[in-house]
Each structure stands twice: as C-alpha cells, then as structure tokens.
A and B are shown apart, each in its own frame.
Chain A
C-alpha cells in the first residue's frame, strides 16, 4: 500500500536531484573560480536534500528500494521534477548544449526555482509528517543562501552591461513560461493536505510573485507576460533533455550495479 506522501516526496527529491546534477555541469567550467565553487556547493546542498528525501521515500516503499535505486534505476517517465529544472544551460536556439552554456540561463533558473523552494520548504517545515518537516527545516536554510546568491547575480547581470542585461532578459523570457508548472494542480495536493500542509497555490503564487517582482525592479529587467506552453514534468511528461541528463548520471550505476568503493 503506497504511503500518501510518496508522490510528494519523489517530486521534491527529483527536483533537487535533477537541478543538482544540472548545475554540477558547471564544475570545472564556470566563468571564474568562485562561481565554480559556488555552483558545486549548490549541487552538494541539492543532492544532499534529495538523498534525505529518497532515503525517506525508500523507507516508506520498503522491499529492496534504496536511495540509489530511486536515483539510478528509474527512467525519465518515472521522474516527477518540474521541466524547468532539466533544461540545459542555454536558450532555445543554441546549437549545442555543451558549447553554449549560458551563465544567465543557469542563474535565472536558480532564481526562479529557489524562490519557489523557499516558500515550499517553509510550508513543509510546519507539516505534520515529522520526518518531512525535519528535512524541510534543514533545506529552508540552505535554500535561503541559494536564493540570495541567485538574486545577487540577477541584479548584477540585469543592472550590468548592455550584453549582460540582454542575456539576463533573454533567459528570463525563455524560462519564465516554464514556471507556470509551479502553480498547476499537483497529483500530491491531497496527500499534502492530509498532512496539514496547505500548499495553497493562490497564496504561494502571490508570495512568489512578490519576491520575484521586487528583484526584477532592482535588476532593471522586465517580467515577460504570462502564458504560452505549460509543461507537465510533475506528471512524468518531460522534455527530451531529461533523458540525456539521466543517461549521463545513471550510466555508471547501471553498468556496474551494486558496485561499491
């Protein structure tokens, strides 16, 4: 019998793991050393959060499930992360993902997601599931540093040179439509409510809007109009990018199952 909170746990864990893996692609490639280290630190936090969530999910599933089987042995359709988090570090028309990494895309994504994560972890820290509340209380502190870092960069880029402004604005226009998924009805909304967590979308969205808009004003960036394509990664329907990301992440574990070192 599935635990009611399982879909919520996997959604949260997949968010953290996929973004953690994506951001780790900057390791050794960031524009300057400090940002390289900052990106690796972000990933350390995010993957750490995903491990705690997967460990808890595995415990609830029982059988032979482990944090590793959940991370390495599920295929893309089983992942429940927001589509925003799996997109490569470049705009829609770049010819090649690896050669066209765009720091503005990375930072704007972290900015949009960490604002959502702040609100979500803050709510979940109060929920009646003690283990999830403990993980959330931990995650909210880490997310606060991610949010501050991302908003600093968004302001620096938006209120920077003509080129940085243009790239930050382009990234905002590319990524903002994907945030519509944050506010779609979730498969796990009922489970969350049963735990005393009211992830009230109307309230959460209003708070998120306030956070985002305040920074955009300081950053001299324009908020793109709402509308356009609404993704459904949280329902397992992903962009093609997730399969490549998972292919890279999972290949070692699948080539050498049960290997230890």
Chain B
C-alpha cells in the first residue's frame, strides 16, 4: 500500500488524462468535462466525476477505469460522483468538439444550451443549426432526437446524404 504522502500528483493527472469516454473513445474524460476535480485527502487521491445523463451506462465503466488507473500507479484513492452542478455540454472543451467532429459526431451547438433554470418555452431541437461533420454543410435534418446513446440525436445531411450522430446541447 502506498502512502498518499509523496504521491506524484503530476503522474496521477497524466494517467487520468489518458482515460477516454468509453462510448466516444477519442475524447478524454477531462475534455468532456466529466472529470471535475482531483485532490489529495487523508483517504488518498480523490477523483470527482459528474455524470452526463442520469442513466448514462458509461458511468460505471468510467468509475472502474479511474480506479484501475490509480491502481496501476500504485496509488490509493477513490472516485466520488458529484451531481451538482449538473453537467452541461458547455463544459466540453473546444478540443473535444474538434475531436468529435473529426470522429464523425457533430458537436453540440452550445448557443442553444438549455438552462436548468425555470423551463417554460424554449428553442426546439429542430431549430438547431447542425453542421454535417463530414462535408460541413448546414443543410441537415434531424431524423430522431434520440440516437445511439442517451447524449446523441440522429441526423442526416441533405447535401452529402450521409447520416450522422449529433451530440445534443444539454
């Protein structure tokens, strides 16, 4: 068992930066805004994560990946799930958005991010301008607001005719 004292936090950060979202293996947890905080406590390294969606099945995998990563470093630690403030696509780094696009997923159009404040009438998803990640055209349509995972909608490009996933502003 290694003691927290003297743990190389730079090595911990570097190791955690290698961890990706299991459902989108091109972006790291930090870029996604899922990894909220890493700090030392008397229990060891504490890693704080915030779930994207309430029912996101990737969260358990993420939890296990982090523990495994700490274990490989020989570091004692634990993962804490923090619900507030609620995760929003605005936390996604620009680098993540670029990687999503390159991977074929249209990144969220955060100008349309809905607030968690009192919701009454808001913009509709159909009004969002979504650029095709393949050809860049904005002549696209939303086939279904619910796609392959909880966070994505299914779209189609009317210019190049390719179907693609859209990460919903959230």
Residues of A within 8 A of B (CB): 34-35, 37-38, 41-42, 44-49, 51-52, 118, 122, 125, 130-131, 133-135, 137-142, 144-145, 148-149, 207
Contact = CB atoms under 8 A, between A and B. Distances in A.
B54 A51 contact: yes
Contacts of B124: 148
Contacts of A45: 53-55, 150
Nearest to A41: B146
B86 A44 contact: no
Contacts of A207: 120
B122 A48 contact: no
Given A141-B116, A144-B122, 17 more contacts: A38-B145, A41-B150, A44-B57, A44-B150, A48-B55, A48-B56, A49-B55, A52-B54, A118-B119, A134-B84, A135-B83, A137-B83, A138-B51, A138-B53, A141-B170, A145-B125, A148-B145
Which 10 pairs across A and B sit closest by C-beta, in order of nearness?
A48-B55, A48-B54, A134-B84, A134-B83, A38-B146, A34-B144, A41-B146, A44-B55, A137-B86, A137-B116
Majority DSSP secondary structure for residues of B touching A? loop
A144 B53 contact: no
Interface residues of B, number: 30
Given A140-B116, A141-B170, A134 B55 contact: no
Given A45-B150, A47-B55, A51-B54, A149 B145 contact: yes
B118 interface: yes
Which of B84, B119, B146: most chain A CB closer than 10 A?
A: B146
Contacts of A118: 119
B68 to A, nearest CB: 19
Interface string B78-100: 00000111110000000000000
Nearest to B57: A44
Interface in B133-170: 143-148, 150, 154, 168, 170
Nearest to A207: B120
B84 A145 contact: no
Interface string B101-132: 00000000000001011111010110000000
Contacts of A41: 146-147, 150
